[in-house]
Each structure stands twice: as structure tokens, then as C-alpha cells.
Chain A
């Protein structure tokens, strides 16, 4: 079945460092891919998405490119801030009447 694997955390970085959180997937067909963010004490909210191969999603300085050849959707940010401290979830929608698949989440700590 479909699955999402993302790097385990926690990830701890200093402010202004470069961030990469890896996400790979397995799916039949042509899924859509998402990154959600969960700030402390809140529910998840969409950070960015890509619906077809080679699409790049971007928001708030974060980017991720849908790479079908490597089945990956890695999240990157060039210069992180303390306010980026949160849990990040990679997710997949297989474009069927079926459940959406989430990775286990990566906790990010940014130190001032």
C-alpha cells in the first residue's frame, strides 16, 4: 500500500541555518504531496503542496519539489527562525476515495 517515510527527529538547528527535512513515498498512480506544520498546542495546517511531478510548492520561505524519479518531496528553508520551531508532517493523497497517508512527523527546534 501507499506509505510516507520522513526523517526522524528531533532536529535541532541554530537560527539562520539551512534546513532540510527528508520525505520519501511509495504510491501507485500519481499522488499529490503535502507538507503540514503543527505549532505547539495547535492542530495541523497546510504549509505547501504539489500535485504533479516537478511541481514546486512554496510558502513562508519553505520549498519542496515533487521528484517522481526519486519518489521524494524534501522540505527546505534557506534560513530558519525560532518561530519555525514546530512539528512537520509529510503527507500523500493518492487521488482515490481513500485515506490520506501521513508520515510520523519531524520535530524541529530552532535555537536563538
Chain B
């Protein structure tokens, strides 16, 4: 079974702090994604990566950056956390872009910025 793990289930940070969210997968998938999930807005794509050191902006990249130094690890960075970044953050992987493949999601990190 594919396993996608996220470093924390719950996180509380203060405004202005630099925040790192880590995602690790164990199935050698090429593509990795970061989403945020908010009530009434569904899932919104922040960034994705299709290879080591490669990244693409999603729909809402402002205030975020990412790092993919190794294939299995994809990090989301909040350079200076703000209260409007309080949300559930979900990491996902995708083996390939052909439609037969589905995404695999981690359990999520609920981040609160105070």
C-alpha cells in the first residue's frame, strides 16, 4: 500500500513565524502536491512538483514556497505565517498523469496561526 505521511496532525504557530510542513511518500511516485482545504472552498492547489527540484505554482501560491530535494519528500514552507493561513493542509502523490491513476493523500495537518 502507498503510504503518505505528514509530519504533524496538529500545529499551532504564531503570526510571523516560519513554518515547515513535511510530506513523505514511500512508493516512488513522480508527482507530489500540496492543497489547503477550507469550508465552502473545497481543495485548492498551492504547489505541485513533477520531479526532484522541480515545482509548479498552483492556484494559490502566494505566501507559500516549496522544496523537493529528494523524490520522496515534499515540503511546504510558510515564510511568515499569517492568520489567514489557518487551514487544513493536505499532501498528495500521483504515480503518473494518465487517467488510470488516482491521487494518494496524507492524513492532513491542521494548522492554526494565532
Interface residues of A (CB under 8 A from B): 30-32, 34, 36, 41-46, 49, 51, 89, 91, 93-100, 102-105
**Closest A residue, CB atoms, query B43:** A102
A104 to B43, CA, bound (A): 7
The interface on chain B, measured as residues whose beta carbon lies within 8 A of the other chain's beta carbons, has a size of 24
Contact in complex: B97, A93 (CB < 8 Å): yes
Contact in complex: B90, A49 (CB < 8 Å): no
Contact in complex: B94, A42 (CB < 8 Å): no
Contact in complex: B97, A96 (CB < 8 Å): yes
- Which residues from chain B contact A89 at a C-beta distance below 8 Å? 42-43
- Which residues from chain B contact A42 at a C-beta distance below 8 Å? 107-108
Contact in complex: B45, A93 (CB < 8 Å): no
**A51 in contact with B107 given A89-B43, A103-B42 (CB within 8 Å):** no
**Closest A residue, CB atoms, query B91:** A43
- Which residues from chain A contact B94 at a C-beta distance below 8 Å? 100
A44 to B94, CA, bound (A): 13
Contact in complex: B43, A49 (CB < 8 Å): no
> Does B61 make an interface contact (CB < 8 A)?
no
Instruction: List B residues 8-61 near A (Cβ within 8 Å).
Output: 33, 40-43, 45, 48, 50, 58
- Which residues from chain A contact B42 at a C-beta distance below 8 Å? 89, 102-105
Can you offer 5 A-B residue contacts whose CB atoms are under 8 A?
Answer: A36-B105, A43-B92, A49-B102, A97-B50, A104-B40
- Nearest-neighbour CB distance to chain B for A41, whole angstroms, equals 8
Contact in complex: B97, A43 (CB < 8 Å): no
- Which residues from chain A contact B33 at a C-beta distance below 8 Å? 99
- Which residues from chain A contact B40 at a C-beta distance below 8 Å? 104
Contact in complex: B41, A104 (CB < 8 Å): yes
